[in-house]
């Protein structure tokens, strides 16, 4: 089959959509008008996208519930928000680990107890890790696999279940951070990739169910490319084997999520150009797998470089770094 013609068609179509999309950025004034006084629950708020989103929402007058595992990191974020001018009583923190799914209901209950309602759910938390599945025994451990799915999928579902009725009272909105790795395969990220594929399958189906029941709640799935937060940069093995167009700004990404509360798209793809290129390559390039492997191959190695990937990805320093920073590394169950 000749893939050139359909590939050219999809690239042209994607380019036209990208440049002529009717969706335009909202002004700061519009954001403040919509967000001032709204109650926003942000899960995964101690760093990265969640942290930056908290700063931006607070700047527009939103009341925030910040959730993450590490209380010390949450305290720093809360202190910074208040330092920037937010009222002390408008920001609370909740420390918990979403590998215990029963905590999802507690998070919603504490939000209601403090603010009396909920307008916007940001389900952003995830266990992020890399490593070749066949070479790392801990990735094959059934208990470890189950824990990752509890954090990356099941807890998000439980948050949606417990938040929905309260969001419906305020015509609210739910946002779930997924990934382009939920649409295409990602080398050395088989478990992470599988949780994101499952997340997409569930929440795109839930969108249809909300529409069918004529719910006042809308739902956006964030299909994100590589957002180089500090934590993510430090976890990437042996440099950054990613093209420039695949990487996005933390500030722009967070702004897009915040705007999605108002525009309510079904999918938020960022960076958009990365979404177009990756999707087109996956569906129409018969050598997609080979290209990805070559991009990750350490320089100077022979063959496909799998041995070198294994050695660099399982070094002692890398294991300690993964376990210390994210809490989901080897030996940390």
Distance, in Å, from the CA atom of 255 to the CA atom of 263, rounded to the nearest integer, reads 12
> In this structure, are residues 43 and 50 in contact, taking their beta carbons and an 8 Å threshold?
yes
Distance from C-alpha of 65 to C-alpha of 71, rounded to nearest angstrom: 13
Q: Where are the alpha helices (DSSP H) in 213-305?
A: 230-235, 250-263, 272-284, 288-296
Q: Where are the alpha helices (DSSP H) in 60-187?
A: 71-83, 103-115, 142-149, 155-168
Q: Which two tokens stand for residue 5?
A: 């013609």
The sign of the dihedral angle between the CA atoms of 53, 106, 176, 192 is: positive
Are 298 and 203 within 8 A, CB to CB?
A: no
> What is the residue whose two structure tokens read 């305020």?
170
How far apart CA 307 and CA 217 sit, in angstroms, is 49
Instruction: Kindly give the pairing relationship between strand 63-68 and strand 218-224.
Output: unpaired
Q: How far is CA 212 from CA 112, 205, 206, 209, 302, in A?
A: 27, 11, 10, 5, 55
Residue numbers annotated as active site: 192
Cβ(182)–Cβ(175) below 8 Å? no
Contact present, 119 and 41 (Cβ < 8 Å): no
Question: Among 91, 21, 32, which residue's Cα sits nearest to residue 262?
Answer: 32
Closest CA to 227 of 250, 193, 243: 250
SS3 call for 247: strand
Question: What does the alpha-carbon distance between residue 278 and residue 7 come to, in Å, rounded to a whole number?
Answer: 12
**Residue 41: CB partners within 8 Å, gap ≥ 6?**
65, 67, 107, 108, 111, 118, 120, 121, 122, 163
């Amino acid at each position: 089959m000749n893939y050139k013609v359909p590939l050219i068609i999809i690239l042209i179509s994607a380019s036209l959509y990208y440049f002529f999309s009717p969706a335009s950025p909202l002004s700061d004034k519009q954001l403040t008008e919509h967000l001032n006084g709204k109650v926003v629950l942000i899960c995964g708020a101690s760093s990265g996208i969640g942290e930056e989103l908290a700063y931006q929402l607070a700047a527009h007058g939103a009341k925030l519930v910040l959730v993450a595992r590490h209380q010390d990191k949450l305290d720093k974020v809360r202190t910074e928000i208040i330092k920037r001018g937010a009222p002390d009583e408008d920001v609370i923190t909740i420390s918990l680990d979403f590998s215990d799914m029963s905590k999802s209901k507690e998070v919603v209950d504490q939000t209601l107890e403090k603010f009396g309602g909920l307008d916007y759910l940001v389900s952003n938390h995830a266990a992020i890790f890399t490593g070749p599945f066949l070479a790392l025994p801990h990735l094959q451990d059934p208990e470890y696999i189950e824990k990752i799915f509890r954090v990356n999928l099941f807890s998000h579902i439980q948050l949606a279940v417990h938040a929905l009725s309260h969001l419906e009272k305020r015509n609210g909105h739910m946002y779930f951070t997924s990934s382009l790795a939920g649409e295409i395969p990602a080398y050395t990220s088989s478990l992470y990739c599988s949780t994101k594929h499952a997340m997409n399958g569930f929440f795109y189906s839930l969108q249809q169910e909300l529409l069918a029941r004529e719910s006042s709640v809308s739902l956006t799935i964030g299909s994100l490319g590589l957002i180089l937060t500090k934590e993510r940069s430090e976890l990437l093995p042996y440099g950054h084997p990613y093209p420039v167009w695949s990487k996005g700004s933390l500030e722009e990404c967070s702004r897009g999520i915040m705007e999605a509360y108002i525009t309510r798209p079904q999918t938020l793809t960022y960076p958009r150009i990365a979404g177009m290129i990756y999707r087109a390559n996956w569906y129409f390039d018969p050598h997609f797998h080979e290209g990805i492997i070559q991009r990750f191959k350490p320089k100077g190695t022979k063959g496909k470089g799998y041995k070198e990937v294994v050695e660099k990805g399982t070094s002692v320093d890398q294991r300690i770094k993964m376990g210390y920073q994210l809490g989901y590394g080897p030996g940390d169950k």
